[in-house]
Amino acid sequence: MEPYQHVLDALRGIIVSSVEELVVDDINPDSDLTGELGIDSLAMFEIADKAQERWSIKISDEDLGRFTTVDSMVTFVQGAADKHGLSAVTEAL
């Protein structure tokens, strides 16, 4: 499995654990976080907090505001993990 898919799968799990109405199959890379998935700002903070803990990365409020799709979150996590010398794949397992 490619690194992108590992991070995507882990983020899907984080999103589902934060937004009970969603199931993993509802979440695709192109899914709009607020529109399509209905994730509100409180849930976004919870998702960001869990992602920060899982990958030992920092997600600022400014970064959080830039996340529009699931793909934008995956790309950010991969970049942040790489920037800090962490393997997003290893941390996602």
Residue-wise pLDDT for 29-74, tens only, equals 999 999 999 999 999 999 999 999 999 999 999 999 999 999 999 9
* Residue-level pLDDT at 87: 56
Using the 8-state DSSP alphabet, how is residue 26 labeled? G
Average pLDDT, the chain: 90
State the alpha helices, DSSP H only, in the chain: 3-18, 41-55, 61-66, 70-83, 88-92
> Any idea where the domains of the chain sit in the sequence?
3-92
What CA–CA distance (Å, rounded) separates 19 from 1? 26
Q: How distant, in Å, are the alpha carbons of 13, 21, 30, 36, 38 from that of 54?
A: 12, 22, 22, 25, 23
- CATH code for residues 3-92: 1.10.1200.10
Q: Which pLDDT belongs to residue 3?
A: 87
CA distance 52 to 80: 10
Share of residues in the chain with pLDDT > 90 (%): 80
Whole-structure pTM value: 0.86
Whether the predicted pLDDT of 11 surpasses 80: yes
